[in-house]
Amino acid sequence: MAGGFGGPTDGEEFEAKITPIVVISCILAASGGLMFGYDIGISGGVTSMPEFLREFFPVVYKRQQIPGLESNYCKYDNQGLQLFTSSLYIAALIATFFASYTTRVLGRKMSMFIAGIFFIIGTILNAAAQNLIMLIVGRLLLGCGVGFANQAVPLFLSEVAPTRIRGALNLLFQLMCTIGILVANLINYGTSRIKGGYGWRISLGLAGIPSLLLTFGALIVTDTPNSLIQRGKLEEGKAVLKRIRGVDNVDPEFLEIVEASRVAKEVKHPFRNLLKRRNRPQLVIAIWMQIFQQFTGINAIMFYAPVLFQTLGFKSDASLYSAVITGAVNVLVTVVSIYFVDRAGRRVLLLEAGVQMFLSQLVVAIIMGLKVKDHSNNLGHVLAIIVVVMVCSFVSSFAWSWGPLGWLIPSEMLPLEAHSAGQSVAVCTNMLFTFIIAQAFLSMFCNIKFGIFLFFTFWVFVMTTFVVVLVPETKGVPIEEMTERVRKQHWFWERYFEDKLKGKLHALNYLTSSYLDLKLRISSLIFERALKKCSPALLSWILFYLSCILFFFNLVYQFNCQSCL
Ligand code: BGC
């Protein structure tokens, strides 16, 4: 997932059966992931329903009713409307900090219960909303639920599941997330046909089902043996381990958990560890994988597909229907990715997807640029179908690459001494950039029009280059060999392993040895200097700040632009 990460997935195989409690865990994973996906998918469809707009965003509603009043690209450009979608992610970001504390100190079970309660109250507020404040507060509470669920559920799963199905459960969370998005699309399609103007309330209210499932599920299950042992409840932890494994001899696994918990307690400053030079490669990769995942533009589609299709001139029905098609492609291809991830290798999938995403978005940009003008739209039937096919092609390539791998690669790369801290940083970065995309997309669409897809193709190019140059293959690499593979054997990251001087000399040798003439030696020296000055961490921060500045400029522009409000 989205949070589809527990601890490292390798480990010794212990005696274990698939017991009912493990099955219940799967149902829990389903409801946590389903809830996250449902919240992603539901807002775009609701946003495109006229009754919803009339009630909460009359300005936007007016634009839909009077043709030609506003540019095709700007019909939905409204900060409040975007806040309805984005507020969830900023709340999730903040909640993640508290969730990592409660998950550690109060246990996974309690954290899942807290998530469920947030989800229930948020859902009630949303479904019963009488004004914008209720709507936004509801979304903020749902966001808190997402923050807690995304922290606790994957961890719970990875600790309860026997080793042999741990990896699959990791990806199951991402799969459930995509199913949640599809279910939301289908429900929007159904409720948009309800006469009486309350269809959107049903869309928002049906989130109650996975919320209740998660809450009651959290009440039924016991906490994980790892959590109990970490909190000093050794006997209880052992009893639970026996129960969930369905065997009497759990001593080897019990001893391993006790040892792991002792080692974990010795890690006094995980964040400080994470910032150590030796962990810089993993930190840089973890952060950039999240930023890039969002800058593929996937959530422009997941959040706003119905709005986008309406801009292209589709009727309300056809837009919601097309969103269902893209949602279905997302689910199907995610299933396929579960099969391929461990066979094809991470880099191959990321590189193929890079090319496919680039071309798909480029075609959409060209068609829109040629056919969809501010006040006219000549997109015929054939071109409309091509656009939907291209969007599906983009979504499918995301679903077998940056979707699952954006989470999996950082999770399997992070060293144990900084694993929890690294995961929190990854989740927070993802939530921050999800928020930025949700809050900025419709305004950027209004301002740079079809160019928004060129903006994403630019990022796809950058991230694919990043993969080529800086992401090592981690397929089939056991956790204990990860450091060796990531740092020692990588042409660039190896400098973070050897001491500073040796690292520099080695990198220089590496660069120069492949060039024969003096000229190329000099240019490699310059390149080396530039790389040294522009460390990836520094580059990360520069690009991060540039993105934020871009975003805030856009906000300022929006608030000053009379015709936009
Ligand atoms: C991403 C979400 C995205 C989803 C789409 C996840 O991996 O984190 O932001 O909406 O994939 O399937």
CA distance 151 to 377: 45
> When comparing pLDDT for 405 and 4, which is higher?
405
450 CA to centre of ligand 1 in angstroms: 23
pTM over 0.85: no
Is residue 526 classed exposed, middle or buried when 0-12, 13-18 and 19+ CB atoms within 10 A define those classes?
exposed
Residue of minimum CA distance from atom 2 in ligand 1: 2
Nearest to 155 by CA among 203, 213, 96, 195: 96
CA distance 338 to 22: 20
- CA 294 from chain centre, in angstroms, equals 7
Range with lowest mean pLDDT among 122-136, 304-318, 420-434, 547-561: 547-561
Give residue-wise pLDDT tens across range 180-234. Answer: 999 999 999 999 999 888 999 999 999 999 999 999 989 988 888 889 998 899 9
3-class state of residue 2 by DSSP: coil
Which residues, at least 6 apart from 166, have a Cβ–Cβ distance to it below 8 Å? 6, 9, 11, 157, 158
88 CA to centre of ligand 1 in angstroms: 14
CB 304 within 8 A of CB 442: yes
> Ligand 1: which residues within 6 Å by Cβ?
1-2, 40, 174, 177-178, 181, 293, 298-299, 302, 330, 403, 406, 430, 434
243 CA to centre of ligand 1 in angstroms: 34
37 CA to centre of ligand 1 in angstroms: 8
User: What backbone torsions phi and psi does residue 450 show, to the nearest 5 degrees?
Assistant: -60, -20
Give residue-wise pLDDT tens across range 348-385. Answer: 999 999 999 999 999 999 999 999 998 888 888 899 99
Which one is the CATH code of 279-498: 1.20.1250.20, 3.30.1330.10, 1.10.260.40, 1.20.1630.10? 1.20.1250.20
309 CA to centre of ligand 1 in angstroms: 20
Give residue-wise pLDDT tens across range 242-257. Answer: 888 888 888 888 898 8
How does DSSP classify residue 198? Answer: -
Mean pLDDT of the chain: 84
> Domain spans of the chain?
18-71+78-221, 225-266, 279-498, 499-564
In sign, the C-alpha dihedral spanning 371, 373, 378, 383 is positive
CA distance 475 to 489: 15
474 CA to centre of ligand 1 in angstroms: 21
Residue of minimum CA distance from atom 3 in ligand 1: 299
CA distance 6 to 10: 11
Nearest to 357 by CA among 213, 461, 232: 461
Half-sphere exposure of 32 (CA within 13 A, CB side): 39
Give residue-wise pLDDT tens across range 456-488. Answer: 999 999 999 999 999 988 887 766 677 777 667
pLDDT at 507 over 70: no
CA distance 332 to 457: 24
pLDDT at 159 over 90: no
**3-class DSSP string for 461-481:** HHHHHHHHHHCCCCCCCCHHH
Identify the H or E element spanning 58: helix 58-65
Residue among 5, 177, 394, 408 whose CB has most ligand 1 atoms within 8 A, to mutate:
177
Residue of minimum CA distance from atom 7 in ligand 1: 403
Ligand 1 atom closest to Cα of residue 434: 9
* Confidence at 315, pLDDT banded by 50, 70, 90: confident
Q: What's the confidence (pLDDT) of residue 506?
A: 55
User: What backbone torsions phi and psi does residue 447 show, to the nearest 5 degrees?
Assistant: -85, -45
2 CA to centre of ligand 1 in angstroms: 6
Give residue-wise pLDDT tens across range 107-150. Answer: 989 999 999 999 999 999 999 999 999 999 999 999 999 999 98
User: What backbone torsions phi and psi does residue 372 show, to the nearest 5 degrees?
Assistant: -105, 105
In sign, the C-alpha dihedral spanning 451, 454, 456, 462 is negative
Is residue 234 classed exposed, middle or buried when 0-12, 13-18 and 19+ CB atoms within 10 A define those classes?
middle
Q: In this structure, what token pair is assigned to residue 37?
A: 């996906």
Ligand 1 atom closest to Cα of residue 40: 10
Tell me which architecture the domain covering 18-71+78-221 has in CATH: Up-down Bundle (1.20)
Identify the H or E element spanning 525: helix 518-533
Residue of minimum CA distance from atom 12 in ligand 1: 178
How does DSSP classify residue 418? Answer: G
Q: What's the confidence (pLDDT) of residue 21?
A: 76
Residue among 96, 299, 335, 441 whose CB has most ligand 1 atoms within 8 A, to mutate:
299
pLDDT at 556 over 60: no
- CA 493 from chain centre, in angstroms, equals 25
